[in-house]
Structure 1
Amino acid sequence: MSEIIIENLSKTIKNNKILDNVNLTFESGHVYGLVGRNGSGKTMLLRAICGLIFPDSGKVIIDGKQLHKDISFPESCGIIIENTDLLPNFSAFDNLKMLSEIKNTANDNMIKSAIKSVGLDPDSKKKVKTFSLGMKQRLSIAQALFEDPDILLLDEPTNALDEDGVNDVRRILLEQKKKNKLIIIASHNKEDISLLSDTVISVSNGRFQRK
């Protein structure tokens, strides 16, 4: 079971209040959909939960541990935020294999299973630099999933995917929900939000409001 508690979180960049006294709680077994215009604060909240930015004030507490105090980053978290860093001169498998060596929590079978689940060939030697945008997005999703994290933070997870890819991602995320994962999605795709989310949160000018 995972829980994320956001308390009075604020962040200003260049006199623009990106996060404005945000108070939210997220729990396992639920999918939360963040909706709002570009620049409204959706991605910045995900970055704050990941520990990638320091807030001006407030707290992010994950499973009872405060970010930037007790932990530097979430301990079990899969992430897609903006442009996921992929190694262009390596295959899909080799990309995830090198990442797996950081935490040593995923074996080769877990890596291959994640790659296969998003419709890619785990045995292919094709370099990522030759991938289409859709294939890169599929690999980014596999990268978020392969270590079987408790929390998934996904910014536009169906971006650049064709219809089959979109359906694959939706199926995967619903399966992850059944496994009691905590999932937060930021998306402009209204159908994704409608089909996947238990709770929709509207974002405007750094303020977050449950619908």
Structure 2
Amino acid sequence: MYIKIKNYTKLIEHKQILHDINLSLESGHIYGLKGKNGSGKTMLMRAICGLILPTSGEININGDILGTQISFPKSIGALIESPGFIDAYSGFKNLKLLAEIKNIISAQDIADTMLSLRLDPYDKKKFKKYSLGMKQKLGIAAAIMEKPDIIILDEPINALDEESVQIVKELLISLKNDGKLILISCHDKDELEFLSDQIYEIESGEIKNFYKVDAI
């Protein structure tokens, strides 16, 4: 699995959001995005998900051009901004509803994913009564439960306590070792460098710098 982004530029209402982005991403790696709020990190993630289309340039995913040959990546899971869960449903019921769209995983797969994040699939508590950390972990569960080839997580450890941060870090490393292509953003420099094989610094919609991090 690979993603090749070539000369990707996006204008919205004549304002440049992303400018001449060039990236090559491969399976079995975690790539980090570093930048201030409004730098373009989230918009780049949305672009890779097929949620926005380029003004110029292209995104090639395993030989298919996003937006022309395919509308969305064939195997992707993402947590970008706040996920749209139903307040009156339990965590498990929310995930089951999402899983029914593709119908490629079982109820046990959903339960196993929740358990991997220390969420109780049998808890009847409604989503609206979840803590911020529980909501965040449910969003991660939604992104990974179908075992996608590409995983995109915007601030995955936001609102998590120390124990949950460690759980998520171990899970992401395990997914990388399983050959997943993972792209994350994180405001915590140390955590981003701990997880990432390579980090791209974004400023005003442009890649200003990149550097490799020692392998874990």
Whether TM-score is above 0.5 comes out as yes
Query: Which residue identity does 2:123 align to in structure 1?
Result: S
Mapping 1:114-129, distance limit 5 Å: 114-129=113-128
Q: Are 1:134 and 2:167 an aligned pair?
A: no
Matches of 1:193 and 1:15, distance apart in 2: 32
Q: CA deviation at 1:148?
A: 0.5
Q: Are 1:22 and 2:26 an aligned pair?
A: no
Q: CA deviation at 1:191?
A: 1.9
Matches of 1:56 and 1:109, distance apart in 2: 42
Provide, for residues 13-49 of structure 1, a one-character-per-residue CA deviation record: whole Å limited to 9, x for no partner.
3443221011111000000000011111111000000
Mapping 1:64-143, distance limit 5 Å: 64-143=63-142
Mean CA deviation greater in 41-50 or 186-195: 186-195
SS in 2 for 1:61: strand
**Aligned residues: CA RMSD:** 0.9
Matches of 1:63 and 1:90, distance apart in 2: 37
Q: Mind listing any 5+ residue stretches in structure 2 that lack a counterpart?
A: 212-216
Matches of 1:47 and 1:91, distance apart in 2: 27
Matches of 1:192 and 1:57, distance apart in 2: 33
Q: Are 1:194 and 2:193 an aligned pair?
A: yes
Report the counterpart of residue 144 of structure 1 in structure 2.
143
Query: Which residue identity does 2:98 align to in structure 1?
Result: L
Query: Which residue identity does 2:118 align to in structure 1?
Result: G
The share of aligned pairs that are identical, in percent, is 49
The answer to whether the 8 A contact 1:10-1:19 is kept is yes
Query: Which residue identity does 2:7 align to in structure 1?
Result: N
Query: Which residue identity does 1:51 align to in structure 2?
Result: G
Report the counterpart of residue 214 of structure 2 in structure 1.
none
Q: CA deviation at 1:61?
A: 1.1
Matches of 1:142 and 1:177, distance apart in 2: 16
| Misfit runs of 4+, over 6 Å | none
Q: CA deviation at 1:134?
A: 0.6
Matches of 2:104 and 2:3, distance apart in 1: 22
Report the counterpart of residue 210 of structure 1 in structure 2.
210
Matches of 2:187 and 2:52, distance apart in 1: 23
Matches of 1:7 and 1:183, distance apart in 2: 19
Mean CA deviation greater in 162-171 or 9-18: 9-18
Q: Are 1:159 and 2:158 an aligned pair?
A: yes
Matches of 2:171 and 2:85, distance apart in 1: 21
Matches of 2:193 and 2:124, distance apart in 1: 37
The answer to whether the 8 A contact 1:18-1:39 is kept is no
Matches of 1:130 and 1:84, distance apart in 2: 15
Matches of 2:84 and 2:66, distance apart in 1: 23
Matches of 2:6 and 2:99, distance apart in 1: 32
Matches of 1:187 and 1:53, distance apart in 2: 22
Q: Mind listing any 5+ residue stretches in structure 1 that lack a counterpart?
A: none
The answer to whether the 8 A contact 1:87-1:128 is kept is yes
Report the counterpart of residue 182 of structure 1 in structure 2.
181
